Amino acid sequence: MNAPHIRQLPDYLVNQIAAGEVIERPAAAVKELVENAIDAGATSIEIDLRDGGKSLILIRDNGCGMNADELNLATQRHATSKLPDDDLVNINHLGFRGEALPSIGSISRMSIKSKPHDNDEAWEIKIEGGTKHNPTPTAHSDGTTIEIRDLFYATPARLKFLKSARSEYGAVKDTISRIAMAFPHVTFKLSHDGAVKMTLTAQHGDAEAQRRGRLTAILGKDFGENSFLVLAEREGLKISGYSSLPTLNRATTQYQYLFVNGRPVKDRLLLGCIRAAYMDVLHSGRHPLVALYIDIPPDMVDVNVHPAKSEVRFRDAGHVRSLIITALKAGLIEHGQVTSSTLSRQTLGMMQPQSNTPNLPYNRGASPAVPRSYAYPNQQGLGEKRQDFYAPLSAQTPSAQDNLGTFDPSARYEEIDETAPTIKSPLGAARAQLHENYIIAQTKDGLVIVDQHAAHERLVYEKLKNQMDAGDVASQGLLVPEIMDLEDVKINILIEHQETLSKFGLSIEPFGQDTIAVQSLPAALGAKVNIPKLIHDIIDEITEHETTEKLKKSLYEVLSSAACHGSIRSGRRLNADEMNALLRQMEDTESFAHCNHGRPTYITLNLIDIEKLFGRR
C-alpha cells in the first residue's frame, strides 16, 4: 500500500475549515462582525436579518471605516490592526485574529462597503465562496456596511444542521444582548424580516448608571428595581456589576451574564462562583439574575483559548473566584433584609376588587355621598356611623362589636399600643395572626405580612450555620473505615485538600497504593450517607471548580433540613409578645428577607398602594 502524499491545502478550503471553527451559526457571524464594529469605534450599530440570518445578515456601523487598501487586506487571513506589537499577552481588543472576514467570505456571498471619516472616497469589495474581487468605488456614508447573503451555501453540510429561523434569530438576539450589556454607550438596533425587534439607545452618565440603565432595558424593570450593586477590588482585579435579590430568581442560569475586560464569556468557574455565593439563600434549582464585569490586567488572563473567544483562562483562578464570592456575599448581606418589590406588586394585583362585588358609588372626597337607598336608618348620622367602622375594636360601642359577630379561630387580633416604638421598626408592630401562620404587622407607612415558619426557619438556620462556620462541626468516627480504590490523580487531589476537609469533619488518610481510608464523617450527615458518592462528588467539585464547596453544601443542606424541622410550625398560635419577639429577631439577623430555600419571609404593602385599591387616592 502506497503512503498518502502530503499536500498543501488550497486557500479556499483552509478558509472553510477556519469558518467551521469560528462560524458555526448566524449568531457567531454576527458576533464577530459586531465586535469588529466596536473595535472600530462605532457608537451606533444596526443589524438586519432575514430568515434568522440564514439568507441575509446586514450590519451597518459608524466606525472609523476603511480605504481600498485596508479593505483588500482585511479580507485576507490573519490580517488585523489590533496587534501592533505582535503581543498575544496584552490583548486590548475584542477581535484580534483576523479570521472573521475571510472565513465568512469563504462560505457565503459577502460584500463590504466602507468609507473612512477623513476620506471623501468610499469603496466596496465582494467575496463569493472564497473568490475575492478587487475593490471598486461606491457611494457610502462614514463607517462600514457588511452584507452577507446565503450563509453556508458553499458548505451545504453545515447548512443542514442549522435550526429554524426563529431559533437562529433567538441566538442572534441573545448574542447582541450580551454585547450590548458590555458596551452600554453604544446604540444597537436589531431587525428581523423587516420588523424592528430591539432598540437599545446609548446610555449616559457614569459607568454604573450606564450599566444599570442598559441592564434594566434588557432584563426588565424588575431586575432594575430588585438588584444590588456588586463592587470589589483587590490587587489589580476589579469586580463590578449587579445581582438580583434572592427573591427574584429563575429556573435556569440563562440570565447570568459574565464579562472579562468587556468580552462576553461563558465560564464554568465563574458560574460556580455565583452558585457558591447564593448557596445558602437559594435552593431547589433556582438561580439569581446576574451581570458581572471583571476587569483584570491583560497579562493575567488568556483570551486565546477558544476559537470563538467565549472562554478564558485566568493565571490565578483562585484569586478571581475568591473575590467574586466575597463581593456577591457582601451584597447579599447588605441587602439581606429586602425582598423583591415584584412580590408586593403581585400581591396587590391579587387584591384588586372582584367584578362581582357590590357596585357602590363613591366620591374621592373625605365624606362619601351615599344615595338614600344605601343610607342607614335615621338612628345615627352617616359621619358618626362611618367613624365606628374606622375606630379600633376596643373603642367601638358594644352594639357595634356585637354586629361583628365572633372571630374565627384562624383570624386572631391582639390589641397593641399604637404608640409603641416597634411601629417605627422596619417590620413594625404585630397586629394579628391569620390562619396560625401569617403575622400581620403595622409599620409607619403600611403593613407587613410575615410567614412565621419561613422567618423562624431562617433564624434557626443562621444560628446553626454560624456554629459550623466557627469550626463547631462535630465529627463522627466510623467503626469500620470506608476503604476506596481511586486513581492516583484523584487521591492526590484529596490529600492536597486534606486539611480543609478535616475542618468540616471529614477525615481521609492514604491506605496503601491507589487506596484511601475514610476514617470519619461530619456527624450531621447521619449514618445513611453514601460515602463513595460523597467522595467522588467532592473530587469532581475540586477538579471542576477548584473548591471543596460540595462538602460544605452537603452540610448546609443538612442544616437547612434541621432548621426547617426545628422552627415554628405552621398552625401554631402566637401571642402578641411572641409575634413581636420574632419580628425583632428577624431585624437583628442578616438575610432575614428570605428563608434558606429562597422563599420570601415577608411581604410589604405600602399604605398608598392599599388606599389606591379602595379608591381613596
The better pLDDT of the pair 422, 200 is held by 200
User: What is the structure's pLDDT at 392?
Assistant: 41
What is the spatial distance between Cα 18 and Cα 9, in angstroms, rounded to a whole number?
12
Residue 39 has which C-alpha cell?
473595535
User: What is the structure's pLDDT at 202?
Assistant: 96
Give the best-scoring range by mean pLDDT among 4-8, 90-94, 313-317: 313-317
Residue 471 has which C-alpha cell?
469550626
What is the spatial distance between Cα 65 and Cα 81, in angstroms, rounded to a whole number?
12
Q: How far is CA 151 from CA 218, 420, 456, 480, in A?
A: 28, 72, 59, 64
Kindly state the greatest CA–CA separation across the chain: 118
User: What is the structure's pLDDT at 194?
Assistant: 93
The better pLDDT of the pair 370, 608 is held by 608
Whole-angstrom distance between the N-terminal and C-terminal Cα of the chain? 93
What is the spatial distance between Cα 314 and Cα 267, in angstroms, rounded to a whole number?
11
> To the nearest whole number, what is the mean pLDDT of the chain?
79
Q: Which long-range contacts (CB under 8 A, 24 or more apart) does 257-260 make?
A: 257/178, 257/181, 257/290, 257/291, 257/292, 258/290, 258/292, 258/294, 259/181, 259/182, 259/291, 259/292, 259/293, 259/294, 260/294, 260/296, 260/301, 260/303, 260/312
User: What is the structure's pLDDT at 390?
Assistant: 38
Coarse DSSP helix, strand, coil percentages of the chain, rounded to the nearest 5 percent: 40, 25, 40
Q: What is the Cα Rg of the chain in Å? A: 32
Poorest-pLDDT segment among 288-297, 302-311, 373-382, 545-554: 373-382
Backbone angles phi, psi at 464, to 5 degrees: -65, -40
In the predicted model, is pLDDT for residue 596 greater than 50?
yes
DSSP 468: H
Question: Nearest-CA neighbor of 62 among 216, 234, 188?
Answer: 188
Q: What is the share, in percent, of the chain residues with pLDDT greater than 70? A: 73
Residue 450 has which C-alpha cell?
410575615
β-pairing, 256-260 with 290-295?
A: parallel
SS3 of residue 432 by DSSP = strand
Question: Nearest-CA neighbor of 54 among 163, 144, 187, 127?
Answer: 163
Buried b (16+ CB within 10 A) or exposed e, 373-392: eeeeeeeeeeeeeeeeeeee
Backbone angles phi, psi at 379, to 5 degrees: -75, -30
Residue 579 has which C-alpha cell?
409575634
Got the DSSP string for 371-387?
-GGGSPPTTS-HHHHHH
Using 50, 70 and 90 to split pLDDT, how confident is the model at 371? Answer: very low
- State which amino acid sits at residue 94: L
Poorest-pLDDT segment among 381-390, 421-430, 570-579: 381-390
Asked if 218 contacts 177 with a C-beta cutoff of 8 angstroms, the reply is: yes
List, in sequence order, every residue forming a beta bridge with 151; answer none if it has no partner. none
Residue 419 has which C-alpha cell?
404608640
Within 147-229, where are the H helices?
Answer: 156-160, 165-182, 207-219, 221-225
What is the spatial distance between Cα 483 and Cα 509, in angstroms, rounded to a whole number?
10
* 148 membership: H or E segment, kind and range: strand 143-149
Poorest-pLDDT segment among 29-43, 277-291, 432-446: 277-291
What is the spatial distance between Cα 468 and Cα 498, in angstroms, rounded to a whole number?
18
Asked if 345 contacts 600 with a C-beta cutoff of 8 angstroms, the reply is: no
Question: Nearest-CA neighbor of 524 among 598, 567, 464, 466?
Answer: 464
Using 50, 70 and 90 to split pLDDT, how confident is the model at 559? Answer: low
Q: Around Cβ 270, how many Cβ atoms within 10 Å?
A: 23
- State which amino acid sits at residue 570: S
What is the spatial distance between Cα 495 and Cα 209, in angstroms, rounded to a whole number?
47
Name the pTM for this structure.
Answer: 0.69
The better pLDDT of the pair 529, 411 is held by 529
Poorest-pLDDT segment among 73-82, 339-348, 498-507: 339-348
Using 50, 70 and 90 to split pLDDT, how confident is the model at 597? Answer: confident
User: What is the structure's pLDDT at 147?
Assistant: 96
